[in-house]
Amino acid sequence: MIDRQVRQMIMDGASAEAIQDYAVENQNMKTLKDAGLKMVEDGVSSVEELRKVAYYK
């Protein structure tokens, strides 16, 4: 969700990583990687499928 803080971060030229970090910490956002890992743990998906769609640094 784009709240006032995210809007300000965008206007200030914050990096996508900084905005993501804010959203994860303050808005309970789940990254694609985290959601995918949960699906692997639950047996809904596989590690191979997760690697196809999620970016790993």
pLDDT for res 54:
83
Q: Could you please report the per-residue DSSP string of 4-55?
A: HHHHHHHHTT--HHHHHHHHHHHS----HHHHHHHHHHTTSS-HHHHHHHS-
pLDDT band for position 23 (cuts 50, 70, 90)? very high
18-33 average pLDDT score: 95
57 pLDDT above the threshold of 70: no
43-56 average pLDDT score: 89
